[in-house]
Structure 1
Amino acid sequence: MANDMQPLLIELGTEELPVKALPGLAQAFFDGVLAALDKRGIAVERADARPLYTPRRIAVLLPGVAPAQPEQKSEVLGPYLNIALDADGQPTRALEGFAAKAGVEWTALERTSDKRGERFVHRSASPGESTAALLPQVVAEAIDAMPIPKPMRWGDHDHAFARPVLWLVALLGEEVVDMEAVGVRAGRESRGHRFMHSGPVPLARPGDYVDAMRDARVLVDPDERRARIVEEVNAAAAPHGSARIDEDNLEQVNCLVEWPVAVACSFDPAFLAVPPEALVATMEANQKFFPVLGEDGRLLEHFIGIANIASKDEAQVRLGYERVIRPRFADAQFFFTEDIRQGLASMNAGLGAVTYQASLGSVADKVARVAALAEAIARSAGVDPALAARAASLSKADLQSRLVGEFPELQGIAGRYYALQDPALDDLAVEARTAVANAIDEAYAPRHAGDDIALSPLGKVLAIAERADTLAGGFAAGLRPTGNKDPFALRRNALGLARTVIESALELDLGALLGRARALALDAMVASAEAALAAASGDKDRERAQKRLDDALADRAADPQAGIDALYDFILDRLKGYYADRGVPAQHFAAVAALRPRSLHDFNRRIAAIGSFAELPEAEALAAADKRIRNILRKADGDVPGTVDPALLSEPAELALAEAVEAVHGDTAPPLASGDYVDVLARLARLRPQVDAFFDAVMVNAEDPAVRGNRLALLQRLAGRLGSVAAIEHLSV
């Protein structure tokens, strides 16, 4: 069969495809073709096959495909014998009908059995269809399965695709497949670069595809094209510095060009007075250019554009790139200058008119809550509470700036620059002023998955306070995520809070923090409802506002623990994935989560300790014993005595265990108090011989109730210490 394999090429030629969707569309088409071939039993040699694509084409190139399906076998079950044959063994109408439908005499049918008895069956085999005959169906299914959110229609037919399809190549071996897709007949001619190659590109066989297209100035392999872009960009930047190559920007450029050519450009150095993040955002997000950095990492007045053509007059291309970027830079320069003139205090004053969330008040209200939380958190973090409150009070001011209005991704970053220059902070020492400015920026960290947490102590305080308020407010306002809907990004905020605490090794009472954040949020809900009631006009409006106020007052008066627990559980749910990504087994996480430590730093130390304990040879047996002990205690009738009576201990094994338990209680008390959980579990592991001997020699459910209760008390005291670091019974499978 392997020698009969033939290479296959399917290429859909189109008008320019949507940039961000292109890789996904190509992968979906590739996967769809393979799935459709597999469904039909057609063998495929995949080797290193992968999607090939450019802005104007999507292709599947497979090194080997079987020429036909294997023999197609069929088995159709018929009636049972008691229905199929009469008393004389002759066929009934049911059997005759089944045989007629199968196209054979009833005597040619076979028999099979199942649990209900013996029945007739028709088995047949037929040659498989040729791959060439099946390819139209294969391609149609692959196209239908592609995730195209808004298919386009063109011409006077009903076909639809992401963009109009202009040509179709379908080669199986050296033969063109007789087929049509999306209203286009298949041939062997592709098309080269729109400007650098004239005429069609004839393909004799699939294996010629990549090289032939390269000769026609089209790099159809996205990996080759990406590597060419990186090489070109680095070479063009080298005389000045090093290129900043952002992966997302690189991927988008890769989906914009078929023949990448780097063009070195520059801009007026005066623009470097603008925050570099704004300039970089303009170059990358708006124009898909690559900034150039100096040895110190600072932005230089150079950038690299990628043209989709080797121009005969590169100077004109350069001038075009430089011309298009100048107005955007000039706008950023103007916005920045005007924002500096306005000042943070003026920006802050406008936050009261900006609604944060209908039930939680304005952005100014949120800032006040975050400041109160930051002041409380600062005491635990060893940060000046007054400085934390001041930084928090300025943390959202830049939302009213012109620069952030134009570049929303600069939230916090712009505030950092303004704080460094604002006269309103001249009363602070240089070090304190810098700390406040950096914290305004770091309050947003981590900004995305994989991003670093805040670096400075003050930044960490603000980041935690910001996320605690967002979580508590979101839950209080009934905005808890459902399915894929999470408008206030509560999941991301929960993980960001947890990461900041854990990775900072910050000893913070999470329950107390969530309780404080929840109380502030509920106060905001009441205040917002009171304001709504005061402003209501008309009976219906007042009735609705009164109900809203009554609900808010009831929520504030309710027992807070249930609300705190819901927030805690939500954070734990995010931590489950966090630790799974770091290779922590689910059983280890469950063992620590069962104890619900109030400190996430403490939670992390327990996770590390349970990982070390699990590697000990005694771990599995001790975990199983702990599980057994807890099952015994759960099934015990009545209350278990709170203390062990030494006078009721008689068996050597229970005497030895009691002595060992008392000793380990004393030995583990200091490391347990200091949080040295590895040492605690290592000491507990030494109990295994006494625990094993106890269960081998002692009957827990003794006939004497006093003895039975005393043995249960001993096991209860043992279980208390075994579960002091984590619920180790979760380690027992």
Structure 2
Amino acid sequence: MSTQNLLVELFVEELPPKALRKLGDAFSSVLAASLKAQGLTSEASVVTSFASPRRLAVHVTQVAAKAADRSVQQKLMPVAVALDAGGNATPALLKKLAALGADASAVPNLKRAPDGKAEALFLDSMVAGATLAEGLQKALDESLAKLPIPKLMTYQLGDGWSDVKFVRPAHGLVALHGGEVVAISALGLTAGRNTTGHRFEAGVSPIVLSDADSYEKQMAEQGAVIASFDARRAEIVRQLQAAAAPLGLTPIDDEALLDEVTALVERPNVLLCQFEPEFLGVPQECLILTMKANQKYFPLLDAKGKLTHQFLIVSNISPADASAVVQGNERVVRPRLSDAKFFFDQDRKKTLESRVPGLDKVVYHGKLGTQGERSERVRAIAHAIVNQLRMATVPYTAEAKDEFEVLDAKAQQAARLAKTDLLTDMVGEFPELQGIMGGYYARHEGLRDGVAIAIEDHYKPRFAGDALPRNHTGTVVALADKLETLVGLFGIGQLPTGDKDPFALRRHALGVIRILVEKNLPLDLAALVESALPAFGELIANPAEALLIFMQDRLAVTLRDQGYSAQEVDAVLALAPQRLGDVPRRLEAVRAFAALPEAASLAAANKRVSNILKKVEGELPSAVDTGLLKEAAEQQLNAALAQIRPQADSLFEQHDYAASLRALAALKAPVDAFFDGVMVNAEDAALRANRLGLLKNLHEAMNRVADLSRLAA
């Protein structure tokens, strides 16, 4: 069957920029999937998505004018209902056939087949393939219905009576199969071949598309529009780099900003602008944020990552003389930077300490009190964390004692002041700067640098891939802050559900996990959670069990995302290791063990031992009675354990988990011989208990690093 390429374009008013990429991908993917499901495209068909501020479009190759006819088998009804005692069609069957366009002549050709406990009749028939007009209409309707539209708007059509609901008013529809228009309609529009280019710079209006394949070229040459989102984005990146390179500067790296700007222009034109250098006295995070968030500009950084007074804009027009555009943008950004400078100057007139009482007037949560009360809880939890670190320090010297006293004092001060920047004008204007501004204001006041850094870092990591706190004080306060959030909200039943996580508890849990793992802290997770409970008094119920399960699940997801297999992760986490810093080393050890030739046999034996021991009632002897070892195989296994286990345990205590598991690999031969030649469940009770005790020792020896039975196929 001959095929041609297809183009569909919906021309609309300016689409929401933050949603444009998703809208374009959804429009093309759903429409193409529907065409494929109807048999109008093939596996070889290529789908190309287009999305600009004023259009959604899709190009699909090898689209048939009509889908092939196909045979279908349709269930009619149970045989007992369809045929009478003489095997003749009942009125119910004839009525069903008539509804399907068949008559009594079809009865002899009906097929019988089992259907559950009964037998049913089935009708084989040929269904005519959909025409492109029919199939494309269905595909377009489905695509529009499934667009991830943040909010629908209602507008009137040209007749003045009809209403249409869509993300933005639509003004044009194109549908071309090769060079022919496909007769479809949507949103009160009838498909044609005319579209509109750039709002100001199109060379032709309307643009008359000659065929489906000329769309991208005609839009660029006649319409001054780069229709492809990805191509337009790449062009912006090229121009940004070309403008910055001669200056020895680098545009700020911000993927979300790049996507948003790509969704705001149809033909980008990057221009260089600047502001007065005196504004650089304001923290660069403030200036960068106001330029990015409010103006969609690209700040320029020097080789050391410091903000300069120059920046790049992406214009949607390309005048011969761009000076008016440059001057206009420089004039617009100046008041924004002046506001940031004013906020910074005003905020520094009050100390962070003077703002502490104000936290008692800021509600944190209706059931958990104010930010002031929350800060006190964070202080208490930070103190408990320092105590746990102190107890884990061996040897605990006089020097270590002094260091912990200093750490505790710094953590207490940082926790007390960490939330005070929420009351500043700058953070009130830019909530994203909380913590960051607290660090600046702390340094301005002359607070010791460790405290200032801790105030700045206590929110870290803020997102996946973010840096961890830079010093010990920041680490302690960051852990305390996240634990206070997790314990408090779990304690009042505010758990995440499905994709809803309004308090970002998954992010907080991952933050705790990353700090414990990547900093390899000698802290027990369960003990950490328990140590946070006293800070809440009678305010909450004890959420430790649910919270630890939640943290374990988050850890498992994270580890699988890092490339570890589900088996490897299950094997390690089955033991619920509380010192999370050990987990990566355990995983690497398990991976290395699994590659050994002895691994499969030992994992299977371990699983067998686990199953045997699960069925045992009562306590088993901790020591094996060598006098009851009757068979040579059990004597050899006991001897091998006595020789190998001390070595494996010693390596385990040194945290050399890979070597510990390698040592255990030597048990393969005696373990195999034991199961080949020894009856565990002997009739003699003493003999049976002794053999079970031997298996218990084997199980304990083999499962210190991980539950190796989880590696069994």
Compute the TM-score of the two structures, normalised by the length of structure 1.
0.89
Contact 2:153 2:166 in 1 (8 A): yes
Residue from 487, 512, 515 that aligns with 1:472:
487
Bigger Cα displacement from structure 2, 42-51 vs 563-572: 42-51
Alpha-carbon offset, residue 624 of structure 1 = 1.2
The code of the aligned residue for 1:412 comes to G
Where do residues 120-519 of structure 1 align in structure 2 (5 Å cutoff)? 122-125=123-126, 127-155=128-156, 156-197=161-202, 198-215=204-221, 216-240=223-247, 241-378=249-386, 380=389, 384-423=407-446, 425=447, 433-519=448-534
Alpha-carbon offset, residue 465 of structure 1 = 1.4
Contact 2:38 2:130 in 1 (8 A): no
1:20 is aligned to 2:18: yes
The code of the aligned residue for 1:396 comes to K
Gaps of 5+ in 1: 426-432, 526-551
The code of the aligned residue for 1:112 comes to K
SS state at 2:537 partner? helix
The code of the aligned residue for 2:360 comes to G
Residues 709-732 of structure 1, C-alpha deviations (whole Å, 9 max, x = no match) = 111111111111112222111111
How far apart, in 2, do the equivalents of 1:118 and 1:598 lie? Answer: 58
Contact 1:96 1:106 in 2 (8 A): no
Contact 2:220 2:227 in 1 (8 A): yes
Calculate the aligned-residue CA RMSD, in Å.
Answer: 2.3
How far apart, in 1, do the equivalents of 2:564 and 2:257 lie? Answer: 33
Contact 2:175 2:191 in 1 (8 A): yes
Distance 1:11 1:81, change over 3 A: closer
How far apart, in 1, do the equivalents of 2:704 and 2:119 lie? Answer: 63
Bigger Cα displacement from structure 2, 448-457 vs 513-522: 448-457
How far apart, in 1, do the equivalents of 2:439 and 2:430 lie? Answer: 15
Alpha-carbon offset, residue 85 of structure 1 = 6.5
The code of the aligned residue for 1:338 comes to Q
1:36 is aligned to 2:44: no
1:564 is aligned to 2:541: no
Alpha-carbon offset, residue 82 of structure 1 = 7.2
Gaps of 5+ in 2: 391-402
Alpha-carbon offset, residue 618 of structure 1 = 1.4
1:615 is aligned to 2:615: no
Contact 1:17 1:162 in 2 (8 A): yes
Contact 2:113 2:121 in 1 (8 A): no
Q: Count residues with an aligned counterpart.
A: 688
How far apart, in 2, do the equivalents of 1:405 and 1:95 lie? Answer: 73
Bigger Cα displacement from structure 2, 250-259 vs 656-665: 656-665
Share of identical aligned residues, percent?
Answer: 42
Residues 133-161 of structure 1, C-alpha deviations (whole Å, 9 max, x = no match) = 43222212221222224222222313221
How far apart, in 1, do the equivalents of 2:694 and 2:627 lie? Answer: 13
Alpha-carbon offset, residue 191 of structure 1 = 0.7
Contact 2:12 2:54 in 1 (8 A): yes
SS state at 1:73 partner? strand
Distance 1:351 1:97, change over 3 A: closer
Alpha-carbon offset, residue 640 of structure 1 = 2.2
Alpha-carbon offset, residue 498 of structure 1 = 0.7
Distance 1:686 1:94, change over 3 A: same
Distance 1:187 1:684, change over 3 A: same
How far apart, in 1, do the equivalents of 2:430 and 2:283 lie? Answer: 11
Alpha-carbon offset, residue 615 of structure 1 = 1.7
Contact 1:173 1:205 in 2 (8 A): yes
The code of the aligned residue for 2:483 comes to A
The match for 1:587 is: 567
SS state at 1:20 partner? helix
Bigger Cα displacement from structure 2, 55-64 vs 42-51: 42-51
Distance 1:94 1:590, change over 3 A: closer
Distance 1:482 1:132, change over 3 A: closer
How far apart, in 1, do the equivalents of 2:85 and 2:564 lie? Answer: 69
Alpha-carbon offset, residue 28 of structure 1 = 1.4
How far apart, in 1, do the equivalents of 2:275 and 2:498 lie? Answer: 47
How far apart, in 1, do the equivalents of 2:384 and 2:201 lie? Answer: 66
Where do residues 524-563 of structure 1 align in structure 2 (5 Å cutoff)? 525=539, 555=541, 563=543
Compute the TM-score of the two structures, normalised by the length of structure 2.
0.92
Alpha-carbon offset, residue 457 of structure 1 = 2.7
The match for 1:692 is: 672
Residues 149-195 of structure 1, C-alpha deviations (whole Å, 9 max, x = no match) = 42222223132211000111111111111222110121111111110
Contact 2:78 2:120 in 1 (8 A): yes
Distance 1:195 1:464, change over 3 A: same
SS state at 1:303 partner? strand
How far apart, in 1, do the equivalents of 2:58 and 2:184 lie? Answer: 16
How far apart, in 1, do the equivalents of 2:78 and 2:485 lie? Answer: 67
The match for 1:732 is: 712
SS state at 1:43 partner? coil
How far apart, in 1, do the equivalents of 2:461 and 2:134 lie? Answer: 54
Bigger Cα displacement from structure 2, 688-697 vs 598-607: 598-607
The match for 2:113 is: 114
How far apart, in 1, do the equivalents of 2:436 and 2:78 lie? Answer: 78
Contact 1:606 1:725 in 2 (8 A): yes
The code of the aligned residue for 2:113 comes to D
How far apart, in 1, do the equivalents of 2:590 and 2:610 lie? Answer: 19
Contact 1:17 1:56 in 2 (8 A): yes
